[in-house]
Amino acid sequence: MTYVLSDIHGNLQRFKSIMAQINLQADDTLYVLGDVIDRYAGGIKILRQIMRMPNAEMLIGNHEYMMLNAIGHCKDAVEEKENTNRREKRLWYRNGGMITHEQLKHYRKDIRAEIFNFIRQLPTNLEVEVNGVKYKLVHASPEENYMKSPWNIYDYKNSREFAIWDRWDETQPIPEGFILIFGHTPTCYFHDKMPWCIWKGDNAIGIDCGSGYEYGRLSCLRLDDMKEFYSDC
């Protein structure tokens, strides 16, 4: 079975709820579309669990990207005092990064380095095929859309940053032959159903159901039969 979830945002209880429901087996695959960290305190624990899972694959989200830009070049808290990118740190903190930073301070240098190196090598998108259907998995937007708008070269440094930060909407193209699955933009931007739930459009599926917010929840989609799972907390 193939499962997809996104935007856990450090909510360990919701992540545990989903994992208990899907009961991931050794021959299953779990795709995590980024933003594992920030806003709630469990982000680093969840991230390290995903790193240890042989049948899990992850994309980089804008929150992991912000953490890297702020402190990813620092070996420890001592070095951070001298070399932190303060501009990037302010951006990260404004988006819920402080709680992740505090948790990270409890880990040894080698574990910090392992976490940062893992994040650096994460892709921005993946292509998977299930039951003959091709899916493009992204955190925010398909990277190939970067050059399709003249404004993107002013808003983003490169196509990788675009794929991490841009908010896909129905005015933007979908890679030909694929169904797009994305996180980053909460599904309440696409419909007004409560509680928040997975949004399904024409060849596009949004799965960020607001786990980073008190009134949201974590969702997971099984691609084999399109069954939806939601956290019960």
Contact 8, 14 (CB under 8 A): yes
Mean pLDDT of the chain: 95
The values of phi and psi at residue 51, to 5°, are -60, -30
Contact 120, 72 (CB under 8 A): yes
Give pLDDT tens digits for 152-166: 877 899 999 999 999
In this prediction the pTM is 0.97
3-state SS, residue 5: strand
Buried b (16+ CB within 10 A) or exposed e, 122-142: bebbbebebeeeebbbbbbbb
For the chain, list the domains and their CATH numbers.
Answer: 2-230 (3.60.21.10)
Whether residue 190 is predicted with pLDDT greater than 90 in this model: the reply is yes
Give pLDDT tens digits for 119-137: 999 999 999 999 999 999 9
Give pLDDT tens digits for 6-47: 999 999 999 999 999 999 999 999 999 999 999 999 999 999
At 66 the pLDDT is: 97
DSSP 13: H
Beta-carbon contacts of residue 174 (< 8 Å; ≥ 6 apart):
136, 142, 180, 203, 204
